Amino acid sequence: MAAAIISSRNLASFSRFLTSGTKINTCRSINTTHNNLCRWQIVGAACVTRPPVVCPPMTPIEQQYSGMLTTMEKELALKSDHEMRVEKDKIYKKLLLSGDVEDAADLDRTSAQTAAEFEDACTLELNDFNATLQPVHDRNETPDVRKRLHRCLERSLVLVVKHKQIDVQEWTLPHTPWTPGETLRQTCERVVGDVCGESLKVKFLGNAPCGFYKYKYPKTIRKDGYIGAKVFFYKCVVLNNKQQEVEFGTDVDDHQWLTHDELKHTLKQSYAKSISQFLISDR
Amino acid sequence: MSLLNNILSSVYRVCVPGVLGQRNIGTATTPLYFKLTQVVGGEPLKKKKRLDPQIIRQREERKKRKIEKQIRRLEKNAGQLKPVDELEVPRAIIKEIDIRKKPVVTISGEEMDKRAALNKAWSAYKYQQHRAEVTMIDQAATARERALEELREESEELWLEAVQIDPTLIPFKAKGPVLTPPIPEYKSPDGEYINVTRIWE
Protein backbone atom coordinates (compact mmCIF):
# COMPACT_ATOMS: atom_id res chain seq x y z
CA MET A 1 0.00 0.00 0.00
CA ALA A 2 2.76 2.41 1.03
CA ALA A 3 4.77 1.53 -2.02
CA ALA A 4 1.77 2.19 -4.17
CA ILE A 5 1.30 5.62 -2.64
CA ILE A 6 4.92 6.50 -3.16
CA SER A 7 4.92 5.33 -6.70
CA SER A 8 1.77 7.26 -7.51
CA ARG A 9 3.28 10.36 -5.89
CA ASN A 10 6.42 9.88 -7.89
CA LEU A 11 4.40 9.50 -11.00
CA ALA A 12 2.57 12.73 -10.23
CA SER A 13 5.78 14.67 -9.72
CA PHE A 14 7.27 13.07 -12.77
CA SER A 15 4.34 14.05 -14.89
CA ARG A 16 4.52 17.58 -13.44
CA PHE A 17 8.17 17.66 -14.36
CA LEU A 18 7.33 16.54 -17.87
CA THR A 19 4.66 19.13 -18.34
CA SER A 20 6.84 21.91 -16.96
CA GLY A 21 9.61 20.78 -19.25
CA THR A 22 7.35 20.95 -22.23
CA LYS A 23 6.14 24.34 -21.07
CA ILE A 24 9.68 25.66 -21.06
CA ASN A 25 10.23 24.16 -24.45
CA THR A 26 7.18 25.78 -25.94
CA CYS A 27 8.22 29.06 -24.35
CA ARG A 28 11.62 28.79 -25.92
CA SER A 29 10.25 28.01 -29.35
CA ILE A 30 7.83 30.87 -29.14
CA ASN A 31 10.59 33.14 -27.99
CA THR A 32 12.86 32.30 -30.85
CA THR A 33 10.17 32.71 -33.44
CA HIS A 34 9.11 35.87 -31.68
CA ASN A 35 12.65 37.14 -31.77
CA ASN A 36 12.82 36.96 -35.49
CA LEU A 37 9.81 39.19 -35.85
CA CYS A 38 10.36 41.76 -33.17
CA ARG A 39 13.39 41.71 -30.96
CA TRP A 40 14.24 43.82 -28.01
CA GLN A 41 17.70 45.18 -27.68
CA ILE A 42 19.25 44.47 -24.29
CA VAL A 43 20.85 47.60 -22.86
CA GLY A 44 22.83 47.89 -19.65
CA ALA A 45 22.76 51.15 -17.74
CA ALA A 46 24.83 52.08 -14.70
CA CYS A 47 23.25 54.05 -11.92
CA VAL A 48 26.39 55.67 -10.49
CA THR A 49 25.50 57.06 -7.09
CA ARG A 50 27.53 59.05 -4.67
CA PRO A 51 26.31 58.41 -1.13
CA PRO A 52 25.92 61.38 1.21
CA VAL A 53 29.21 62.55 2.69
CA VAL A 54 27.91 64.41 5.72
CA CYS A 55 24.86 64.00 7.87
CA PRO A 56 21.89 66.13 6.92
CA PRO A 57 20.90 68.85 9.41
CA MET A 58 18.34 67.89 11.99
CA THR A 59 14.67 68.32 11.17
CA PRO A 60 12.67 70.62 13.48
CA ILE A 61 11.24 67.75 15.50
CA GLU A 62 14.65 66.15 15.82
CA GLN A 63 16.03 69.43 17.08
CA GLN A 64 13.24 69.78 19.62
CA TYR A 65 13.64 66.27 20.87
CA SER A 66 17.39 66.42 21.19
CA GLY A 67 17.02 69.76 23.02
CA MET A 68 14.63 68.16 25.46
CA LEU A 69 16.96 65.26 26.11
CA THR A 70 19.84 67.65 26.78
CA THR A 71 17.88 69.69 29.31
CA MET A 72 16.69 66.54 31.06
CA GLU A 73 20.23 65.29 31.28
CA LYS A 74 21.44 68.60 32.66
CA GLU A 75 18.74 68.52 35.32
CA LEU A 76 19.76 65.11 36.53
CA ALA A 77 23.53 65.50 36.28
CA LEU A 78 26.01 66.38 38.98
CA LYS A 79 28.04 69.54 38.64
CA SER A 80 30.92 69.18 36.27
CA ASP A 81 34.48 70.32 36.94
CA HIS A 82 33.86 73.42 34.89
CA GLU A 83 30.73 74.37 36.82
CA MET A 84 32.64 73.95 40.06
CA ARG A 85 35.29 76.26 38.71
CA VAL A 86 32.71 78.88 37.79
CA GLU A 87 31.37 78.78 41.32
CA LYS A 88 34.80 79.04 42.82
CA ASP A 89 35.50 82.07 40.66
CA LYS A 90 32.33 83.73 41.96
CA ILE A 91 33.31 83.19 45.58
CA TYR A 92 36.77 84.54 44.86
CA LYS A 93 35.35 87.65 43.29
CA LYS A 94 33.03 88.22 46.21
CA LEU A 95 35.88 87.88 48.67
CA LEU A 96 38.02 90.30 46.70
CA LEU A 97 35.22 92.87 46.66
CA SER A 98 34.62 92.57 50.38
CA GLY A 99 38.33 93.04 50.96
CA ASP A 100 39.19 89.69 52.47
CA VAL A 101 42.36 89.35 50.51
CA GLU A 102 43.79 86.81 52.90
CA ASP A 103 40.77 84.57 52.63
CA ALA A 104 40.92 84.97 48.91
CA ALA A 105 44.52 83.86 48.92
CA ASP A 106 43.51 80.78 50.86
CA LEU A 107 41.37 79.59 47.99
CA ASP A 108 43.76 77.64 45.86
CA ARG A 109 43.55 78.88 42.36
CA THR A 110 45.44 76.67 40.00
CA SER A 111 45.66 79.13 37.13
CA ALA A 112 45.20 82.80 36.57
CA GLN A 113 42.65 82.12 33.86
CA THR A 114 39.07 82.35 35.04
CA ALA A 115 36.38 79.99 33.92
CA ALA A 116 34.74 82.71 31.83
CA GLU A 117 37.97 83.38 30.01
CA PHE A 118 38.39 79.68 29.37
CA GLU A 119 34.90 79.51 27.92
CA ASP A 120 35.60 82.44 25.62
CA ALA A 121 38.79 80.84 24.38
CA CYS A 122 36.95 77.61 23.63
CA THR A 123 34.22 79.41 21.69
CA LEU A 124 36.83 81.25 19.67
CA GLU A 125 38.59 78.02 18.79
CA LEU A 126 35.32 76.40 17.76
CA ASN A 127 34.45 79.34 15.53
CA ASP A 128 37.86 79.19 13.90
CA PHE A 129 37.40 75.50 13.23
CA ASN A 130 33.92 75.98 11.79
CA ALA A 131 35.28 78.66 9.48
CA THR A 132 37.77 76.22 7.99
CA LEU A 133 35.06 73.74 7.08
CA GLN A 134 33.84 73.94 3.55
CA PRO A 135 30.21 74.89 3.08
CA VAL A 136 28.01 71.85 2.82
CA HIS A 137 25.54 73.50 0.56
CA ASP A 138 26.19 76.19 -2.02
CA ARG A 139 23.62 78.91 -1.73
CA ASN A 140 23.96 80.30 -5.22
CA GLU A 141 24.11 77.27 -7.41
CA THR A 142 24.78 77.80 -11.08
CA PRO A 143 24.07 75.02 -13.58
CA ASP A 144 27.82 74.58 -13.84
CA VAL A 145 28.00 73.54 -10.21
CA ARG A 146 25.93 70.51 -11.03
CA LYS A 147 28.90 69.11 -12.91
CA ARG A 148 30.88 68.82 -9.71
CA LEU A 149 30.93 65.57 -7.82
CA HIS A 150 31.40 67.41 -4.54
CA ARG A 151 28.21 69.28 -4.18
CA CYS A 152 25.21 68.75 -1.92
CA LEU A 153 27.32 66.77 0.52
CA GLU A 154 24.36 65.78 2.64
CA ARG A 155 22.40 64.31 -0.26
CA SER A 156 23.09 61.34 -2.46
CA LEU A 157 23.84 62.15 -6.09
CA VAL A 158 23.28 60.25 -9.31
CA LEU A 159 25.30 60.68 -12.48
CA VAL A 160 23.35 61.53 -15.63
CA VAL A 161 24.96 62.07 -19.03
CA LYS A 162 24.21 62.99 -22.59
CA HIS A 163 25.65 60.39 -24.92
CA LYS A 164 27.12 61.61 -28.16
CA GLN A 165 26.06 58.93 -30.61
CA ILE A 166 22.39 59.29 -29.89
CA ASP A 167 20.48 61.73 -32.03
CA VAL A 168 17.88 62.61 -29.47
CA GLN A 169 19.75 64.55 -26.83
CA GLU A 170 18.22 63.61 -23.55
CA TRP A 171 19.61 63.20 -20.11
CA THR A 172 19.97 59.51 -19.26
CA LEU A 173 22.01 57.29 -17.04
CA PRO A 174 25.19 56.14 -18.81
CA HIS A 175 24.18 53.14 -20.90
CA THR A 176 25.33 50.95 -23.74
CA PRO A 177 23.91 48.01 -25.68
CA TRP A 178 24.86 44.58 -24.46
CA THR A 179 27.32 42.75 -26.67
CA PRO A 180 27.35 38.95 -26.82
CA GLY A 181 29.95 37.27 -24.66
CA GLU A 182 29.70 39.46 -21.62
CA THR A 183 27.38 39.48 -18.66
CA LEU A 184 25.11 42.44 -18.15
CA ARG A 185 27.16 43.55 -15.18
CA GLN A 186 30.26 43.58 -17.36
CA THR A 187 28.37 45.73 -19.85
CA CYS A 188 27.70 48.26 -17.12
CA GLU A 189 31.26 48.13 -15.85
CA ARG A 190 32.40 48.79 -19.39
CA VAL A 191 30.14 51.82 -19.78
CA VAL A 192 31.34 53.31 -16.48
CA GLY A 193 34.93 52.80 -17.60
CA ASP A 194 34.20 54.43 -20.98
CA VAL A 195 32.35 57.39 -19.55
CA CYS A 196 34.36 58.21 -16.47
CA GLY A 197 37.72 56.70 -17.29
CA GLU A 198 40.22 55.72 -14.65
CA SER A 199 39.55 58.67 -12.39
CA LEU A 200 36.35 57.26 -10.94
CA LYS A 201 36.43 54.13 -8.83
CA VAL A 202 33.08 52.48 -8.33
CA LYS A 203 31.76 49.36 -6.67
CA PHE A 204 28.89 47.49 -8.22
CA LEU A 205 26.26 46.26 -5.80
CA GLY A 206 25.56 42.71 -6.87
CA ASN A 207 25.21 40.77 -10.08
CA ALA A 208 21.49 41.34 -10.45
CA PRO A 209 19.93 44.33 -12.15
CA CYS A 210 18.14 46.57 -9.69
CA GLY A 211 15.67 48.10 -12.10
CA PHE A 212 14.18 47.88 -15.53
CA TYR A 213 12.90 50.22 -18.20
CA LYS A 214 11.46 49.43 -21.60
CA TYR A 215 10.87 51.75 -24.53
CA LYS A 216 10.19 51.46 -28.21
CA TYR A 217 12.35 53.02 -30.87
CA PRO A 218 10.61 55.38 -33.26
CA LYS A 219 9.75 53.59 -36.49
CA THR A 220 12.10 55.72 -38.54
CA ILE A 221 15.23 54.73 -36.72
CA ARG A 222 14.48 51.09 -36.04
CA LYS A 223 17.63 49.21 -36.99
CA ASP A 224 18.69 45.57 -37.07
CA GLY A 225 15.13 44.50 -36.50
CA TYR A 226 15.00 45.83 -32.96
CA ILE A 227 11.69 47.33 -32.04
CA GLY A 228 12.89 48.81 -28.81
CA ALA A 229 15.24 48.51 -25.89
CA LYS A 230 14.99 46.82 -22.55
CA VAL A 231 17.21 48.74 -20.21
CA PHE A 232 18.57 46.97 -17.15
CA PHE A 233 19.93 49.21 -14.42
CA TYR A 234 22.85 48.24 -12.26
CA LYS A 235 23.59 50.21 -9.15
CA CYS A 236 27.12 51.15 -8.18
CA VAL A 237 28.56 53.51 -5.59
CA VAL A 238 31.44 55.95 -5.94
CA LEU A 239 34.37 54.87 -3.85
CA ASN A 240 36.94 57.67 -4.05
CA ASN A 241 35.85 60.15 -1.47
CA LYS A 242 38.78 62.44 -2.08
CA GLN A 243 38.08 65.88 -3.40
CA GLN A 244 39.23 65.15 -6.90
CA GLU A 245 36.83 65.67 -9.76
CA VAL A 246 36.11 63.12 -12.44
CA GLU A 247 37.49 63.46 -15.93
CA PHE A 248 34.93 62.38 -18.44
CA GLY A 249 35.55 60.48 -21.64
CA THR A 250 35.01 61.82 -25.10
CA ASP A 251 31.85 59.91 -25.91
CA VAL A 252 29.70 61.99 -23.62
CA ASP A 253 28.61 65.50 -24.44
CA ASP A 254 27.66 66.59 -21.01
CA HIS A 255 27.22 65.28 -17.52
CA GLN A 256 25.58 66.23 -14.24
CA TRP A 257 25.54 64.96 -10.69
CA LEU A 258 21.95 65.32 -9.54
CA THR A 259 20.05 64.83 -6.33
CA HIS A 260 16.95 62.68 -6.43
CA ASP A 261 14.67 65.71 -6.62
CA GLU A 262 16.59 67.16 -9.52
CA LEU A 263 16.45 63.81 -11.31
CA LYS A 264 12.68 64.00 -11.37
CA HIS A 265 12.77 67.34 -13.16
CA THR A 266 15.60 66.57 -15.55
CA LEU A 267 14.79 63.10 -16.82
CA LYS A 268 11.87 61.99 -18.93
CA GLN A 269 8.92 61.27 -16.71
CA SER A 270 8.54 57.54 -17.32
CA TYR A 271 12.31 57.07 -17.14
CA ALA A 272 12.51 58.97 -13.87
CA LYS A 273 9.69 56.90 -12.47
CA SER A 274 11.36 53.58 -13.18
CA ILE A 275 14.58 54.86 -11.65
CA SER A 276 12.85 56.15 -8.55
CA GLN A 277 11.61 52.60 -7.92
CA PHE A 278 15.01 51.40 -6.83
CA LEU A 279 16.73 54.54 -5.56
CA ILE A 280 17.10 54.62 -1.81
CA SER A 281 15.84 58.01 -0.77
CA ASP A 282 18.10 60.11 1.45
CA ARG A 283 15.27 61.96 3.12
CA MET B 1 99.39 -1.59 39.90
CA SER B 2 97.23 -4.62 40.15
CA LEU B 3 96.04 -3.89 36.65
CA LEU B 4 99.56 -3.89 35.37
CA ASN B 5 100.18 -7.07 37.24
CA ASN B 6 97.14 -8.58 35.76
CA ILE B 7 98.16 -7.67 32.28
CA LEU B 8 101.62 -9.00 32.85
CA SER B 9 100.37 -12.22 34.25
CA SER B 10 97.97 -12.74 31.45
CA VAL B 11 100.56 -11.96 28.80
CA TYR B 12 103.48 -13.87 30.09
CA ARG B 13 101.59 -16.20 32.20
CA VAL B 14 104.44 -16.05 34.62
CA CYS B 15 104.18 -15.36 38.19
CA VAL B 16 106.62 -12.95 39.64
CA PRO B 17 105.81 -13.12 43.24
CA GLY B 18 107.32 -10.50 45.40
CA VAL B 19 109.01 -8.81 42.46
CA LEU B 20 106.54 -6.05 42.34
CA GLY B 21 105.95 -6.08 46.04
CA GLN B 22 102.24 -6.59 45.66
CA ARG B 23 99.73 -8.67 47.43
CA ASN B 24 99.59 -11.71 45.38
CA ILE B 25 98.82 -15.31 45.66
CA GLY B 26 101.29 -17.28 43.86
CA THR B 27 101.74 -20.93 43.30
CA ALA B 28 104.87 -20.44 41.36
CA THR B 29 103.66 -22.64 38.66
CA THR B 30 103.10 -21.96 35.06
CA PRO B 31 100.50 -21.75 33.80
CA LEU B 32 98.94 -19.94 36.61
CA TYR B 33 95.68 -21.41 37.66
CA PHE B 34 94.86 -18.88 40.24
CA LYS B 35 93.74 -15.51 39.13
CA LEU B 36 92.66 -12.48 41.00
CA THR B 37 89.38 -11.02 39.86
CA GLN B 38 89.14 -7.32 39.71
CA VAL B 39 87.26 -5.65 42.48
CA VAL B 40 83.67 -5.07 41.49
CA GLY B 41 83.62 -1.30 41.14
CA GLY B 42 80.49 -0.46 43.02
CA GLU B 43 78.35 -1.24 45.94
CA PRO B 44 75.59 -3.77 45.51
CA LEU B 45 72.34 -2.46 43.95
CA LYS B 46 69.82 -1.13 46.38
CA LYS B 47 66.81 -3.20 46.90
CA LYS B 48 63.81 -1.39 45.47
CA LYS B 49 61.61 -0.17 48.25
CA ARG B 50 58.15 -1.35 47.88
CA LEU B 51 55.81 1.43 48.87
CA ASP B 52 52.66 0.88 50.70
CA PRO B 53 49.83 1.14 48.15
CA GLN B 54 47.88 3.21 50.61
CA ILE B 55 50.57 5.86 50.68
CA ILE B 56 50.65 5.97 46.89
CA ARG B 57 46.94 6.48 46.84
CA GLN B 58 47.23 9.24 49.38
CA ARG B 59 49.85 11.00 47.32
CA GLU B 60 47.74 10.86 44.20
CA GLU B 61 44.78 12.18 46.04
CA ARG B 62 46.83 15.07 47.35
CA LYS B 63 47.91 15.91 43.84
CA LYS B 64 44.33 15.78 42.63
CA ARG B 65 43.13 18.00 45.43
CA LYS B 66 45.80 20.55 44.63
CA ILE B 67 44.69 20.77 40.99
CA GLU B 68 41.06 20.94 42.02
CA LYS B 69 41.84 23.83 44.30
CA GLN B 70 43.55 25.67 41.47
CA ILE B 71 40.57 25.11 39.21
CA ARG B 72 38.23 26.38 41.89
CA ARG B 73 40.30 29.49 42.31
CA LEU B 74 40.24 30.13 38.57
CA GLU B 75 36.51 29.63 38.42
CA LYS B 76 36.00 32.06 41.24
CA ASN B 77 37.96 34.68 39.37
CA ALA B 78 36.14 34.03 36.11
CA GLY B 79 33.12 35.89 37.44
CA GLN B 80 35.19 38.98 38.03
CA LEU B 81 35.27 41.14 34.94
CA LYS B 82 38.08 43.40 33.92
CA PRO B 83 37.47 46.84 35.33
CA VAL B 84 36.50 49.47 32.78
CA ASP B 85 37.94 52.77 33.89
CA GLU B 86 35.51 54.76 31.84
CA LEU B 87 32.53 53.20 33.54
CA GLU B 88 33.71 53.70 37.09
CA VAL B 89 33.02 56.88 38.96
CA PRO B 90 36.34 58.47 39.84
CA ARG B 91 37.14 58.56 43.55
CA ALA B 92 37.54 62.31 43.58
CA ILE B 93 33.95 62.72 42.48
CA ILE B 94 32.61 60.23 45.01
CA LYS B 95 34.33 62.28 47.71
CA GLU B 96 32.85 65.53 46.45
CA ILE B 97 29.46 64.11 45.68
CA ASP B 98 27.71 66.28 48.24
CA ILE B 99 29.02 69.58 46.98
CA ARG B 100 28.47 68.50 43.39
CA LYS B 101 24.76 67.85 43.79
CA LYS B 102 22.53 70.36 42.08
CA PRO B 103 19.39 71.74 43.62
CA VAL B 104 16.46 69.54 42.60
CA VAL B 105 14.59 71.06 39.70
CA THR B 106 10.85 71.02 40.05
CA ILE B 107 9.18 70.72 36.69
CA SER B 108 5.93 72.53 36.24
CA GLY B 109 2.87 70.67 35.03
CA GLU B 110 2.87 72.68 31.86
CA GLU B 111 6.43 71.65 31.10
CA MET B 112 5.58 68.02 31.87
CA ASP B 113 2.68 68.13 29.41
CA LYS B 114 4.92 69.66 26.81
CA ARG B 115 7.48 66.93 27.24
CA ALA B 116 4.88 64.17 27.06
CA ALA B 117 3.46 65.67 23.87
CA LEU B 118 6.93 65.87 22.39
CA ASN B 119 7.58 62.24 23.28
CA LYS B 120 4.38 61.23 21.51
CA ALA B 121 5.23 63.30 18.45
CA TRP B 122 8.68 61.79 18.42
CA SER B 123 7.45 58.19 18.45
CA ALA B 124 4.96 58.99 15.68
CA TYR B 125 7.77 60.59 13.68
CA LYS B 126 10.05 57.58 14.14
CA TYR B 127 7.22 55.24 13.21
CA GLN B 128 6.57 57.10 9.99
CA GLN B 129 10.27 57.10 9.23
CA HIS B 130 10.49 53.37 9.77
CA ARG B 131 7.47 52.73 7.58
CA ALA B 132 8.88 54.86 4.81
CA GLU B 133 12.14 52.92 4.99
CA VAL B 134 10.42 49.55 4.86
CA THR B 135 8.28 50.55 1.89
CA MET B 136 11.34 51.89 0.13
CA ILE B 137 13.20 48.62 0.59
CA ASP B 138 10.15 46.65 -0.53
CA GLN B 139 9.87 48.80 -3.61
CA ALA B 140 13.51 48.31 -4.50
CA ALA B 141 13.18 44.53 -4.02
CA THR B 142 10.11 44.46 -6.26
CA ALA B 143 11.89 46.48 -8.90
CA ARG B 144 14.76 44.04 -8.86
CA GLU B 145 12.41 41.05 -9.13
CA ARG B 146 10.70 42.67 -12.09
CA ALA B 147 14.03 43.35 -13.78
CA LEU B 148 15.14 39.75 -13.24
CA GLU B 149 11.90 38.44 -14.70
CA GLU B 150 12.30 40.58 -17.78
CA LEU B 151 15.90 39.51 -18.12
CA ARG B 152 14.93 35.85 -17.92
CA GLU B 153 12.41 36.37 -20.65
CA GLU B 154 15.11 37.81 -22.89
CA SER B 155 17.96 35.47 -22.14
CA GLU B 156 18.23 32.56 -19.76
CA GLU B 157 22.05 32.70 -19.72
CA LEU B 158 22.17 36.34 -18.69
CA TRP B 159 19.61 35.64 -16.02
CA LEU B 160 21.72 32.79 -14.67
CA GLU B 161 24.71 35.09 -14.50
CA ALA B 162 22.63 37.74 -12.77
CA VAL B 163 21.37 35.51 -9.96
CA GLN B 164 24.86 34.47 -8.89
CA ILE B 165 26.04 35.60 -5.47
CA ASP B 166 28.68 38.30 -5.60
CA PRO B 167 31.38 37.11 -3.19
CA THR B 168 33.07 40.52 -3.13
CA LEU B 169 30.07 41.88 -1.24
CA ILE B 170 30.42 39.44 1.65
CA PRO B 171 31.11 41.04 4.03
CA PHE B 172 29.93 44.40 2.79
CA LYS B 173 31.52 47.45 4.35
CA ALA B 174 30.31 51.01 4.02
CA LYS B 175 31.41 54.12 5.84
CA GLY B 176 28.43 56.18 6.76
CA PRO B 177 28.02 59.92 6.50
CA VAL B 178 30.10 61.89 8.96
CA LEU B 179 29.28 65.02 10.91
CA THR B 180 31.76 67.33 9.22
CA PRO B 181 33.00 67.12 5.65
CA PRO B 182 36.57 65.96 5.11
CA ILE B 183 39.16 68.72 4.97
CA PRO B 184 40.78 68.75 1.51
CA GLU B 185 44.41 67.67 1.44
CA TYR B 186 44.50 67.12 5.17
CA LYS B 187 47.55 65.19 6.24
CA SER B 188 46.83 63.24 9.36
CA PRO B 189 49.59 63.52 11.94
CA ASP B 190 51.70 60.42 11.94
CA GLY B 191 53.97 60.16 14.92
CA GLU B 192 55.08 58.02 17.81
CA TYR B 193 52.62 57.08 20.42
CA ILE B 194 52.69 55.31 23.71
CA ASN B 195 50.20 52.58 24.24
CA VAL B 196 48.79 53.09 27.71
CA THR B 197 46.30 50.27 27.58
CA ARG B 198 46.71 48.18 30.69
CA ILE B 199 47.04 44.47 30.26
CA TRP B 200 44.71 42.34 32.31
CA GLU B 201 45.42 38.70 32.76
pLDDT per residue over A264-280, tens digit each? 888 888 999 999 989 98
For A243, the closest chain B residue by CA position comes to B184
Q: Answer whether residue B198 is part of any domain.
A: no
* Model confidence pLDDT, tens digit, residues A235-265: 999 886 565 667 777 778 888 888 898 888 8
User: Within an 8 Å CB–CB cutoff, is residue A131 touching chain B?
Assistant: no
Measure CB to CB from residue B181 to each of A72, A134, A230 and give the nearest one. Answer: A134
Residues of B in contact with A133 (CB under 8 A): 180-181, 183
Whether B78 contacts chain A with CB within 8 A: no
CB contact under 8 A, B163 and A134: no
Asked if the structure places residue B33 within a domain, the reply is: yes
Position B8 in a domain: yes
Residue B1 lies in a domain: yes
Look at A232 and B143 and tell me if their CB atoms are within 8 Å. no
Q: Is residue B176 part of a domain?
A: no
Count of the separate structural domains present in chain B: 1
CB contact under 8 A, B102 and A79: yes
Question: Mean pLDDT across the stretch A16-31?
Answer: 38
CA A213, distance to chain mean position in Å, is 20
pLDDT digit string, tens, across residues B57-80: 999 999 999 999 999 988 887 777
Residue B56 lies in a domain: no
Residue A22 pLDDT exceeds 50: no
Q: How far apart are alpha carbons B6 and B4 in whole angstroms? A: 5
Residue B3 in contact with partner chain A when CB distance is under 8 A: no
Interface test with A, best of B93, B135, B151, B160 (most A CBs within 10 A): B151
pLDDT for residue B89 is more than 50: yes
Q: Domains in chain A and their CATH numbers?
A: 38-54+145-276 (3.90.79.10), 60-132 (no CATH)
Show the domain range for B18: 1-37
- When mean pLDDT is compared across A160-169, A221-230, A255-264, B190-199, the lowest value belongs to A160-169
Q: Which long-range contacts (CB under 8 A, 24 or more apart) does A202-206 make?
A: A202/A46, A202/A48, A202/A236, A202/A237, A202/A238, A202/A239, A203/A236, A203/A237, A203/A239, A203/B168, A204/A234, A204/A235, A204/A236, A204/B166, A205/A234, A205/A235, A205/A236, A205/A237, A205/B169, A206/A235, A206/B166, A206/B169
Tens of pLDDT, residues A28-62 = 333 433 444 568 889 999 999 988 888 888 999 99
pLDDT value, residue B12? 53
- Average pLDDT over every residue of A213-237: 84
Chain A hits for B137, CB-CB cut-off 8 Å, are 280
Hey, what amino acid is at A46? A
Please report whether residue B77 resides in a domain.
no
